[in-house]
Amino acid sequence: AGLESYAKPIVKRIDPDGKYFDRVLYRDATVSTNGRDNIKDLKCIGHKMKKLVLVDNNPFSFMMQPNNGIPIKPFVGDALDEELMSVTLPLLKELAEVDDIRPALARKYNMVHWFARKGVVLPKGCTLIKPSV
């Protein structure tokens, strides 16, 4: 979970006009569960889960809603790092057109399987959605 000073410039680069993100959460909005810190529980936002996306370089941060997460590589200030603009932004635009982002992200990233391969037991109460065909 990023500190505001780290994440805010990244969000500004992806969405300079505030068109795609209604709200951005930082480290102070995280919880601890299953012995892990800095877990982001999207239920605290109060929006419909089918339209919420969590972009993070730490997949464990979205273990409460594994099918709402987009895993990315860490941003280390490299001016030539174009992952957010060339990969993540087009995906976010694509997701903006679907009714429920979770089946598409489950199909693309299969984070439930990723956690299982790592031997991670997902927390009780986490939200699971099956991938769409």
Per-residue model confidence as pLDDT tens digits over 14-54: 889 988 788 888 888 888 887 788 888 888 887 789 999 99
Phi, psi of 77 (to 5 degrees): 85, 5
Residue 24, token pair as written in the block: 């951005």
Hey, where are the domains in the chain?
Answer: 4-117
Please name which of 45, 62, 43, 51 lies closest in space to residue 109, comparing C-alpha atoms: 62
Per-residue model confidence as pLDDT tens digits over 106-128: 999 999 999 999 999 888 777 77
CB 1 within 8 A of CB 30: yes
Q: Which fold has domain 4-117?
A: Rossmann fold (3.40.50)
Q: Mark 84-122 as b/e (b = at least 16 C-beta within 10 Å).
A: beeebbebbeebeeeeebbbbbbeebebbeebeeeebeb
